[in-house]
Structure 1
Amino acid sequence: MARPRAFDEEQVLQAVREQFWDAGYAATSLEDLMRVTGLGKGSLYAAFGDKRQLFLRALRGYTDENHDHLRRALAEPPRAVDALRMLLEAPIGDPADAGPRRGCLLANSTCELGNADPEVLAHAHRTYETTTALIGDCVARAQREGDLPAGADPIALARALLAAQQGIVFMSRTGLDRATLTATARSLAARLLPDHSGDRTDRTDRTDRS
């Protein structure tokens, strides 16, 4: 009979993810993975396969978690447009966090491996399409609530918002201070998500008077 595993698989994958996130794929050695997981080569390979398979498993877990978090974040505010504005400021992070900004693991990995590994590139494409669809659903809700123009294409606006957010992620990695990043995010929000609440009020008032 096969012996049961004497380690927590999710904890191992979390440790592996942090290592790849900190150092990147190429700079992470098998010795690094053994060190952060506390497992030997045989145990790692028997449970997860080689380094590449372990990386892909960690990357998929990262994107699945991000999509779960995004669904909750977009559904939480009472009005959808507020969730979309928060989306642009999300990469800025905690002001108390003085550690290095690591950016997005998926974006980092795609830049490093996308030209050489079709599976990483395909995963990135699927992930961004799912993210775009989730943001697009939120845009459509904001349109129904009267906070965004009804004639706008939800998916086109979702792609623009995602591109803006990823730009802020990149800018954060350059060491820009929090105040500058926040001002940039709010400037983008003002252009991509203009306040139409006054228009909605005017329409309501005209309806009430008619």
Structure 2
Amino acid sequence: MPRPREFDEDRVILAIRDEFWDKGYAATSMDDLLRVSRLGKGSLYGAFGDKRSLFLRVLRDYDDANLLMLRKSLESAARGIGVVREFVLGPTDDPTGAVARRGCLLANSNAELASSTPDVAVEARRSYDAITTILTAALERAQREGDLDPDLDPAETARAALVAQLGLIALGRTGTDVDVLTTVAQSALARLLPTPAQ
């Protein structure tokens, strides 16, 4: 019978996630992971496997949490159009620019690893496809609610909204001023989400 774990798994995963998020995969050493997890090597390996396995676990948990949050946002939103606006404007939320400079763990990881680590590319596609599906549902709802041109293709527009957000994330990582990012985001939204012709 295996012994119960003597550590808070959620705390460990969050600490490790933040280390990967701040430094990137390649720059994060096993010593870094041991330090932030406060676990011994045997405990860390025994619970989560090697660095690659641990990273993929952290990335999937991060993606699943974000997808759940986006689904809940759609369920609770007063208007479907608001979900898409909030999604695109997300990288501009913090007036200090700290959130924008940190970027998104998935986008950062995809840029760093997708060409060399097929598992990361697969995870990125899974997450981006799920995001597109949720945004498509939000846009279809916006059309039913009369907030969006009925001739617009919701799936194409959802993909364009995702691309716009990823572009804002990339710009934010360069240290682009948040006011500039906000202006760019609002300009993109004005083009992506035309209202019905009067």
Q: TM-score band (shorter)?
A: over 0.9
Task: Confirm or deny that 1:132 pairs with 2:117.
Answer: no
Contact 2:94/2:100 (<8 A) preserved: no
Contact 1:75/1:83 (<8 A) preserved: no
Q: Deviations over 1:41-74 (max 9, x none)?
A: 0000000111110001000000001101111223
Report the alpha carbon displacement of residue 100 of structure 1 after superposing the two structures with TM.
7.2
Q: Deviations over 1:77-112 (max 9, x none)?
A: 311112222222111122256577211111111111
Contact 2:97/2:172 (<8 A) preserved: no
Task: Output the TM-score relative to the length of structure 1.
Answer: 0.89
2:68 matched to which residue of 1? 68
Separation in structure 2 between the aligned mates of residue 4 and residue 86 of structure 1, nearest angstrom: 41
1:106 matched to which residue of 2? 106
Separation in structure 1 between the aligned mates of residue 13 and residue 109 of structure 2, nearest angstrom: 16
Name the SS for the 1:47 alignment partner: helix
Name the SS for the 1:101 alignment partner: helix
1:45 matched to which residue of 2? 45
Which amino acid letter does the alignment assign opposite residue 81 of structure 1? I
Alignment RMSD (CA, Å): 1.6
Separation in structure 1 between the aligned mates of residue 49 and residue 168 of structure 2, nearest angstrom: 35
Instruction: Compare 67-76 and 105-114 and name the one that shifted more.
Output: 67-76
Instruction: Compare 125-134 and 177-186 and name the one that shifted more.
Output: 177-186
Contact 2:100/2:172 (<8 A) preserved: no
Separation in structure 1 between the aligned mates of residue 88 and residue 116 of structure 2, nearest angstrom: 30
TM-aligned CA distance change 1:21 to 1:79, over 3 Å: same
Separation in structure 2 between the aligned mates of residue 123 and residue 85 of structure 1, nearest angstrom: 25
2:8 matched to which residue of 1? 8
Separation in structure 2 between the aligned mates of residue 97 and residue 195 of structure 1, nearest angstrom: 30
Instruction: Compare 139-148 and 81-90 and name the one that shifted more.
Output: 81-90
TM-aligned CA distance change 1:65 to 1:150, over 3 Å: same
Paired residues in the alignment total 198
Task: Confirm or deny that 1:167 pairs with 2:167.
Answer: yes
Separation in structure 1 between the aligned mates of residue 92 and residue 86 of structure 2, nearest angstrom: 10
Separation in structure 2 between the aligned mates of residue 72 and residue 82 of structure 1, nearest angstrom: 13
The structure with the largest alpha-carbon Rg is 1
Task: Confirm or deny that 1:177 pairs with 2:181.
Answer: no
Separation in structure 2 between the aligned mates of residue 182 and residue 140 of structure 1, nearest angstrom: 25
Name the SS for the 1:194 alignment partner: coil
Which amino acid letter does the alignment assign opposite residue 141 of structure 2? R
Q: Deviations over 1:174-206 (max 9, x none)?
A: 11212111111111111111233x73xxxxxxx
Unaligned runs of 5+ residues in structure 1 are 200-210
Contact 1:76/1:83 (<8 A) preserved: no
Q: Deviations over 1:149-168 (max 9, x none)?
A: 22222111100011001111
Which amino acid letter does the alignment assign opposite residue 115 of structure 1? S
